[in-house]
Amino acid sequence: MAIEVQIAVTVVYSAKPRTVAERVLLLPVGCTVAQALQASGWLDGPDRDSLAAAGQGVWGRKVPLTHVLKDQDRLEIYRPLTVDPKVARRERFVGQGAKKAAGLFAQRRAGAKAGY
């Protein structure tokens, strides 16, 4: 009697900001990203085309659909950006203003060194 070895892979997807859905899948050893996405069931939904176009990654690094998964991998399904990060930063700066005490080091402790 042969024992089939399986790996546990967590598939994570965030359909909108501040919401995360995840599924833990038991897959056979040697399973690829494409097979894991198919097994997750998220590619069967109405936003299937946008999921495929946005890309996917393992632990924050983009990988192709042919990437072989390992035990305890976290497969992330990315969504397309809605705002260019450079534009968003410019808009935040305009709202924040060019005050002297604005930005990362706005609140310093009394007697602290500059920049700390």
Using CA atoms, how far apart are residues 80 and 65, in angstroms rounded to an integer?
17
In a domain, 25, yes or no: yes
Q: pLDDT in tens for each of the 116 residues of the chain? A: 456 788 899 999 887 888 888 899 999 998 998 889 888 887 776 666 666 667 888 998 999 888 999 999 999 988 877 888 888 888 887 766 655 555 565 666 777 666 55
Scored b (16 or more CB within 10 A) or e, 20-42 reads eeeeebebeeebbbebbbebbeb
**Tokens 């998220």 found at:** 42
State the CATH number of the domain containing residue 42.
3.10.20.30
41 belongs to a structural domain: yes
pLDDT of residue 113: 67
Alpha-carbon distance of 102 to 62, in angstroms, equals 35
Q: Which domain holds residue 41?
A: 6-77
Distance CA 13, CA 5 (A): 26
